[in-house]
Structure 1
C-alpha cells in the first residue's frame, strides 16, 4: 500500500513542528557495537488494521529476545510518511528502517549516501526470497532494501453490483469496461471509487493504458529518452478520458482520500461503488475502512486490467510492485538482523494470514488464505512482464509530475496532449 499499498507524493510537510519532532527521532544509535544499547527507529505505513498490531507484536518479540535493543515504531499514513521522509532525507537524517518501494526513489537515496548497501549482510538468507520481488531494491548489482510484500494492481469489484447490472463476466477489453460502466450507471450503481485528492490512484489507469497501448518497451524508452510526448502516451490519456467523460466516480471524488472514513477504500468496503483499481492490499484496507470493519467479504472479486484493442502491449503484463524496507546509513548494528526476523518464514506466514501481504519468502506462499489474494498471486505467477509503479520507477520529480498531470486530466483542467508535454519537461530537467 502503492497499495499498495499507498503511496506516493513527495510534497512538503503540513507543519514544520511535526517534522522537527520526527527528525529528532532519526538515527537510532551507534552502528558499530552489536552488543551495546541500541534503538532502531522504524517508520512504516501499515498504520491501520490488520498489519499495525502484527508489526508491533514482532517488534516486541525481537526486544524480548534482544534485551539491549529497543524498537521505536512510527506508523504513518502513506502521504504523511512520504512527506516526512523527504524532510528527513533532505536533512541527511533518514530513519534506521523505513518503508521503500525501490526503483528511482531508492536510487536517489543511494546516490545521496542515505541508505546502506546490505548485500553482504543479507547474503546468507536473501536466497529465500522471490527474485522478482528483489529487483526494485537491487541497483547496480547491490541490494539496498528487502521486500516483505509483492503484488500487482488490478480491478476489485463487487459481484452483487455486477449481477444487478447484468454483467456476467469481468471485462476483458477496455471497450467492455466502458460498456460495463454504462450498465452500472443504468442500474443506479456508482461504477468506480477513486481517491482524487491523493492523485496516485489515478496514475494507475494512465500507466496501465500506456502499457496496454505501447507495451513495456514504450515505458522503457520514455525513461531512456526522457520523452513522454509520443502517440502511445497521448492515446493512453485519450482512452482514460473516455472513462472520465462517463462520470463514473463517486460524489466528491476529487476531494476524496484513499484511506479516510469517506474515501476510496471505505466507499468500496461499504458497498458504495462497483469497482476500484488498486493493489493487493485492497481487501484488507476496504475492510478496516468500512463501517462494519469487515468489508463486503466473499462478494469481492478481482480481475486484471483489460486489454486495449490494437495495442502493442499484452494483457498478461502486470503493473504494480511490492513493499519493502531500506536501512538508513546510521542504523544500529542490529537493524539488518531485525529485518531478517521480519522476513523469516513464520513471520511472513503471519503477515500473509492478515490478507494485507503477499509474502516474498518463497516458503510462506502457503500462508495466503484470502481467495482473492490467491488469484492475485496466480496472476503474478503467470505474468509475461512486470512494470513498477511509475511514480517509483522514474526519478521522484518525474513520478510526482505524472501523478499531478494525471490528476489534472481527471479534473478536466488539462488535455491528454498537454499532460505528456508537462511530464516530458520535468523528465528532461532531471
Structure 2
C-alpha cells in the first residue's frame, strides 16, 4: 500500500496505454538495442528520480537493452494495465502493488518467473513477501519494496504528556490521547476512515473481511464487529480527533501529524520522507515508530503491503528475457540499498538492510515492526474488498449510518466481488 490509497477516482487513458506496447515495434535491429517498456507507479516527485537513475545504470551495464520509462500515477495504474493487457498493449514490466499480482496472474496477464534469473536470489527475500507474489503455486512477481502500518508518534509530545512508552493496546492509546491533550493542547490521535487502515483492528481480534479458506465473508462476524466498535470509539473522546470523511482526509491527517498538531497516527513507511519534511520532525530522532496496538484478544497485526516487479506475458520471448534481466537488476541487493537510501523505503531482502540503510531511524523503526505484519491470503479479489469499506466506514464514523447498517452494506458489496463466497 502507499499514498495512492486516498487518490481520486480512476481515469482511463488510452493514450498512455498506446505508448506502452511491450511487444510491438521495439524489437532489436542489427544495429540497435532492444527496447522494453517499464511502467513505474512510484511517487513522481519523491521516488521516481531514484528509479530513473537506476534505469540509466541498467542501460549502461546492458547496452543491448533500452528501457522506456513511463511513470504512471498509482491510482490509475491498475485500471490502465488491465485495459492495456487485455488489448495486448501492456508494458513489458509493471511495478504492481502486491494485491494486483494475483489478480493479474489469474487473468494470465503475467509471466511466471520461477526458474528464471529474476528469482535466482530467491532465498534472500523474505518468505512472506514471496508468498504474496504467488498464485496457484507459481510466482508472478519479485518483491521490490515492502511496507506495513505502524503507530507513529511524536516523542516530544508524548514526553511532555508524561508518556514514557508507546501504547500497546487501543485502550492505552485512548488514555495517551487524553493525556497529550491535557498537557500539550495537541490532539493525541487522529484515525483514518479508510478500509486499509481498519485492518489492524480486525487482526487484533483475530478477524478479517473474509475467510479465504472457508470461502466466507466475515466482515460482520462477532469478532469483526468488536474490531469496528473499537475503531469507531477512537473518533470521540478527549484528545481524539473527530472523523474526517472529506476527499482530502488523508492529507489533513498527515499535515496535522507532521506539523505537531496531532501526536499519533497509524501510517506506513511510504511517508517517511514526508515526515522528515515536517516541522515536528526536523530532528529525525523525534519520530517514534511502534507496532500497532493490540486488540482485546491480545493480538497485534498490520497488513503487509508493497510492490512487486512483474513481467507481461503478452510480450515476445526476446522482450520477456530482457524484462527478466531488468527485474533481476532492479531487485538486487545493491539496487534495493540505493532505493532505500534515496527514498526511505523498506527493502524486501535481508542483505539490502546494510548499516547505511539501518542508519535511517525511519527505516530501522519500520523494520522492527515487520514482525507483526500479516501476509494477504492468496485471493485475487482480496485488495478490492477494501473498496466497500472505503464507502461505508466514513458514513459510520460520521454518524450517518449505524455500524450494523454500514457493515451490512459492505457485506452486500463484497458478495458481488466474491460471488462464490457465502455470508
- Please, which of 320, 323, 331 is the counterpart of residue 343 of structure 1? 331
- Residue equivalent to 1:151: 147
CA spacing shift, 1:223–1:301, aligned 2, 3 Å? farther
Q: SS in structure 1 opposite 2:37?
A: strand
The whole-number CA distance in structure 2 between the counterparts of 1:156 and 1:400 is 25
Q: 5+ residue gaps in structure 2? A: 419-423
Confirm or deny that 1:239 pairs with 2:230: yes
The whole-number CA distance in structure 1 between the counterparts of 2:25 and 2:340 is 31
Q: Which stretch of the first structure deviates more once superposed, 45-54 or 132-141?
A: 45-54
The whole-number CA distance in structure 1 between the counterparts of 2:79 and 2:190 is 25
TM-score with structure 2 length normalisation? 0.84
Q: Which stretch of the first structure deviates more once superposed, 317-326 or 357-366?
A: 317-326
- Residue equivalent to 2:386: 399
Confirm or deny that 1:228 pairs with 2:226: no
Q: Contact conserved, 2:186 with 2:260, CA < 8 A, in 1?
A: no
Q: Contact conserved, 2:284 with 2:361, CA < 8 A, in 1?
A: no
Q: Contact conserved, 1:29 with 1:38, CA < 8 A, in 2?
A: no
- Residue equivalent to 1:114: 109
Confirm or deny that 1:330 pairs with 2:321: no
CA spacing shift, 1:193–1:45, aligned 2, 3 Å? farther
The whole-number CA distance in structure 2 between the counterparts of 1:86 and 1:185 is 47
Cα shift readout 1:42-92 (whole Å, capped 9, x = no counterpart): 222322554322111000112223334332223344324345445445655
The whole-number CA distance in structure 1 between the counterparts of 2:68 and 2:242 is 39
- Residue equivalent to 1:364: 352
Q: SS in structure 1 opposite 2:314?
A: coil
CA spacing shift, 1:92–1:239, aligned 2, 3 Å? farther
- Please, which of 408, 413, 417 is the counterpart of residue 400 of structure 2? 413
Q: SS in structure 1 opposite 2:211?
A: helix
Q: Contact conserved, 1:319 with 1:386, CA < 8 A, in 2?
A: yes
Q: Contact conserved, 2:199 with 2:302, CA < 8 A, in 1?
A: no
The whole-number CA distance in structure 2 between the counterparts of 1:393 and 1:153 is 21
Cα shift readout 1:218-248 (whole Å, capped 9, x = no counterpart): 8536872134221111112111110122383
User: Number of aligned pairs?
Assistant: 406
The whole-number CA distance in structure 1 between the counterparts of 2:286 and 2:150 is 16
- Residue equivalent to 1:190: 187
Q: SS in structure 2 opposite 1:56?
A: helix
Alpha-carbon offset, residue 177 of structure 1: 0.7
Q: Contact conserved, 1:43 with 1:95, CA < 8 A, in 2?
A: yes
CA spacing shift, 1:90–1:226, aligned 2, 3 Å? farther
Cα shift readout 1:306-348 (whole Å, capped 9, x = no counterpart): 1223x2x523x44322222222223423111111111122111
The whole-number CA distance in structure 2 between the counterparts of 1:424 and 1:291 is 42
CA spacing shift, 1:306–1:397, aligned 2, 3 Å? closer
Q: SS in structure 1 opposite 2:246?
A: helix
The whole-number CA distance in structure 1 between the counterparts of 2:76 and 2:59 is 27
For the aligned residues, what is the CA RMSD? Answer: 3.2
- Please, which of 279, 284, 298 is the counterpart of residue 268 of structure 2? 279
